């Protein structure tokens, strides 16, 4: 169990260094974060993009001993960075100064990409003031209204990544508005089916409950008041959202009102894929790299 991103960094430092392939690396703020991660000892970067601009920046930020691969376009940079991961020369892929659609097209390229046949999904990880450990959440960024089969794939993606991070039997809440299965409320039906799938060993090891409302998932008193005997209440590791709106609104409310810290990792490819944004702070970038490395590990 990881209580914070600082603990994640300490853990990855013990099992690293990992090779990080950066697509479109001519971004000063990104390379400042990469520099810090290098100094912490858990990555070795390969920087793909405009060689002249990259070398100017690495000289400025004093980033030594890194490999630079020149690419003339963002499309070429994205595909070359992906190929490095595909060939096993890097374990984690990170987006730099390339458009998200260009980046994801390279990731999903049929010949050189990182396809596995599994659904692509986003796992967000939050460090919340007042909660005693990191909280993993999926999917709040890619699949808009997943059906039951897709929810199963999204859950399996998250469980695989969490296992690589050292969580072997996570507690999962399949969220819905309440605990009653109602045929008119698809989220409750799907949640109950996922619980059944776990019981039949169609889903890897976890303790999953659902349908379960947010208050019951995080408040033992609420569970007791409703007469629910829960094994996960107050100690959830993973939230499985019924749709993208639930995850998006809940996550952004934590960031705005609770000053939470977060990272996001794309799962379902052969290796962890860090999306990121130019507006992300250096802290978010470093934490993203650390979690991406752990998600690629075999601890």
pLDDT tens digit string along 192-219? 999 999 999 999 899 999 999 999 999 9
pLDDT band at 298 (very low <50, low <70, confident <90, very high): low
Nearest alpha carbon to residue 50 among 27, 18, 84 = 27
Homologous superfamily of 121-261: Isopropylmalate Dehydrogenase (3.40.718.10)
Matching fold, domains 5-115+269-296 and 121-261: no
The residue ranges of every structural domain in the chain are 5-115+269-296, 121-261
43-97: per-residue pLDDT in tens?
Answer: 999 999 999 999 999 999 999 989 999 999 999 999 999 999 999 999 999 999 9
The sign one gets for the Cα dihedral 34, 35, 40, 45 is: positive
pLDDT band at 276 (very low <50, low <70, confident <90, very high): confident
Those residues whose C-beta lies under 8 Å from the C-beta of residue 242, and which sit 6 or more positions away, are 175, 176, 186, 187, 190, 191
The residues with which 208 forms a beta bridge, in sequence order, are 172
Q: Mean of the pLDDT values across residues 107-116?
A: 95
CATH label, 5-115+269-296, candidates 1.20.120.160, 3.30.590.20, 2.60.120.10, 3.40.50.10950:
3.40.50.10950
pLDDT band at 299 (very low <50, low <70, confident <90, very high): very low
Count helices and strands in the chain by DSSP H and E runs: 11, 11
For a pLDDT cut of 70, what percent of the chain falls above it?
99
- Token reading at 284: 């978010």
Q: Give me the pLDDT at residue 48, please.
A: 98
| Residue 296 CB-half CA count within 13 A | 30
Q: Mean of the pLDDT values across residues 118-137?
A: 97
Those residues whose C-beta lies under 8 Å from the C-beta of residue 38, and which sit 6 or more positions away, are 44, 45, 63, 65, 66
Cα torsion at 210, 211, 214, 216 (round to 10°)? -70
212-240: per-residue pLDDT in tens?
Answer: 999 999 999 999 999 999 999 999 999 99
Distance from C-alpha of 224 to C-alpha of 229, rounded to nearest angstrom: 7
The residues with which 255 forms a beta bridge, in sequence order, are none
């Amino acid at each position: 169990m990881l209580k914070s991103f600082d603990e994640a960094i300490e853990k990855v430092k013990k099992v690293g260094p990992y090779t990080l392939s950066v697509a479109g690396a001519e971004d000063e703020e990104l390379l400042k974060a990469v520099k810090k991660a290098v100094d912490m000892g858990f990555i070795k970067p390969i920087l793909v993009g405009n060689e002249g601009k990259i070398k100017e920046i690495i000289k400025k930020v004093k980033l030594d001993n890194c490999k630079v691969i020149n690419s003339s376009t963002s499309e070429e940079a994205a595909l070359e960075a992906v190929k490095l991961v595909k060939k096993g020369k890097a374990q984690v892929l990170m987006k730099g100064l390339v458009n998200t659609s260009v980046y994801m097209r390279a990731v999903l390229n049929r010949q050189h990409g990182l396809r596995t046949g599994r659904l692509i999904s986003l796992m967000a990880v939050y460090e919340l003031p007042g909660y005693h450990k990191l909280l993993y959440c999926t999917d709040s960024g890619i699949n808009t209204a997943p059906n039951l089969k897709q929810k199963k794939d999204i859950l399996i993606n998250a469980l695989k990544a969490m296992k690589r991070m050292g969580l072997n039997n996570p507690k999962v809440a399949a969220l819905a508005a309440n605990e009653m299965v109602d045929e008119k409320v698809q989220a409750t039906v799907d949640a109950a089916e996922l619980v059944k799938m776990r019981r039949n060993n169609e889903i890897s090891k976890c303790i999953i409950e659902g349908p379960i409302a947010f208050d019951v998932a995080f408040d033992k008193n609420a569970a007791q008041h409703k007469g629910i005997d829960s094994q996960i209440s107050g100690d959830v590791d993973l939230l499985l959202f019924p749709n993208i709106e639930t995850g998006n609104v809940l996550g952004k409310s934590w960031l705005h009102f609770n000053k939470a810290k977060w990272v996001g990792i794309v799962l379902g490819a052969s290796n962890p894929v860090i999306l990121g944004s130019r507006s992300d702070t250096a802290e978010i970038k470093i934490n993203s790299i650390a979690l991406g490395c752990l998600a690629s590990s075999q601890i």
